[in-house]
Amino acid sequence: MDSSSSDKDAKLNQCEKAISHFPLFYLLNQKQIRELAKIANEITVEAGDIIVQQGNIVDSVFIIKSGSVLVTKIKVDIDKTEEMFIATLGPGFAIGLSPTGIFSHSGTRVTTVTAKTPTTLFAFRIEDINHFLKKHVTNYPALQKETDVLVLLNYLKKIGFFNIQLTSSLIRFSENIRPISCPKDVMLYKKNQEANQCYFLINGQIDLIDDDKQKNLIRQLNPVSMFGDEVLIDEGRYSSSAIAKTDSDLFVLHRQDLKQLMVGNSAISNFFIEAYQKSNRTTKDITFLGSEDVTLLNKITKRLKSLWR
């Protein structure tokens, strides 16, 4: 065994030990602990480096291997803002995890964590934990649900949804959307079928095809993509068929839930209108929206008004 392989095994064993000693993971068996350890990345930060920032979306969690960190929180009063010291943490403690799940109530960081000394951590991406839970574990339903929401929130961040900066609306959005897994070669919907759901691709590949033209490929979608946005149009129908090219993970939002989110919320409405505009600006769907003598945005707005009556 060469030295690099030996080092890798040593790090994996150290990560397994850290996982097995953390209370949240007591229900995992040894095989599951090893699988979880394999998705961890070992990272080192210098003293003074900020590891996580209060208010940011939770995208990773950590277990401290060595070193120490300072945990602080910004408290805002009417007339002043102050930084409160919360704790100093060392090896074996976690950042972003509690003994019962993710250390967050809204999907955002509740504290800032800064390295007090050079610090080495085992880092776990939320998407990787989510995938691990789906593949290997059945006895963590609450953690599965928490990570489902966090995967969604990180997805929304990637596609620009967080420019809205409306926390209550984002929480409502995450409560209405549901995760699904679609096996390879399964059809999500057919061309000309009533558009009653839109989709957000997280992992995998989706092919949009034209059934009328010998199944010609119109577009191949990769993460991160939104599709099925014909749901925005009054009495809209899908302009193509959607088939999973690979096993894929998606979020699905039903038309009625989307309607409820958009009513009275211009920020969310504008986000979806702009997303539709971007995805369809070079396609034949433009003529589907109405006459050619008004701008695309006006066409969509008119249809939305009809939809929300």
Amino acid at 93: F
What letter does residue 100 receive in the DSSP assignment?
T
pLDDT band at 2 (very low <50, low <70, confident <90, very high): low
Question: Averaged over 8-12, what is the pLDDT?
Answer: 89
> What are the tens digits of pLDDT across the range 227-241?
898 887 767 889 899
Per mean pLDDT, which range of 95-99, 128-132, 285-289 is the poorest?
A: 285-289
Q: Is the dihedral of CA 107, 110, 112, 117 positive or negative?
A: negative
pTM: 0.71
CA 191 – CA 237 distance, rounded (Å): 7
Note the pLDDT of residue 170: 61
Distances (CA, A) of 3 to 6, 7, 24, 41, 44: 5, 6, 33, 19, 20
Note the pLDDT of residue 79: 77
Dihedral angle computed from the Cα positions of residues 241, 247, 251 and 254, in that order, rounded to the nearest 10 degrees:
40
Helix 266-280 to helix 255-262 angle (10° resolution) is 130
Note the pLDDT of residue 167: 55
Domains of the chain with bracketed CATH:
3-138 (2.60.120.10), 160-307 (2.60.120.10)
What letter does residue 263 receive in the DSSP assignment?
T
Per mean pLDDT, which range of 5-14, 179-188, 297-306 is the poorest?
A: 297-306
> What are the tens digits of pLDDT across the range 43-90?
999 999 999 999 888 999 999 999 999 999 998 877 788 899 999 999
> What are the tens digits of pLDDT across the range 253-278?
888 888 777 776 676 677 777 766 66
Give φ, ψ of 200 to 5 degrees. Answer: -125, 115
Question: Averaged over 282-304, what is the pLDDT?
Answer: 38
- For the record, the structure tokens of 75 come out as 């408290």
Q: Is the dihedral of CA 192, 193, 197, 202 positive or negative?
A: negative
CA 93 – CA 88 distance, rounded (Å): 10
> What are the tens digits of pLDDT across the range 158-175?
766 655 444 555 666 667
Note the pLDDT of residue 156: 74
What letter does residue 205 receive in the DSSP assignment?
-
Burial class (CB in 10 A: 0-12, 13-18, 19+), 300: buried
CA 254 – CA 173 distance, rounded (Å): 11
pLDDT at 92 over 70: yes
Per mean pLDDT, which range of 157-161, 187-191, 240-244, 278-282 is the poorest?
A: 278-282
269-286 b/e (C-beta count within 10 Å ≥ 16 → b): bebbbebbbebbeeeebe
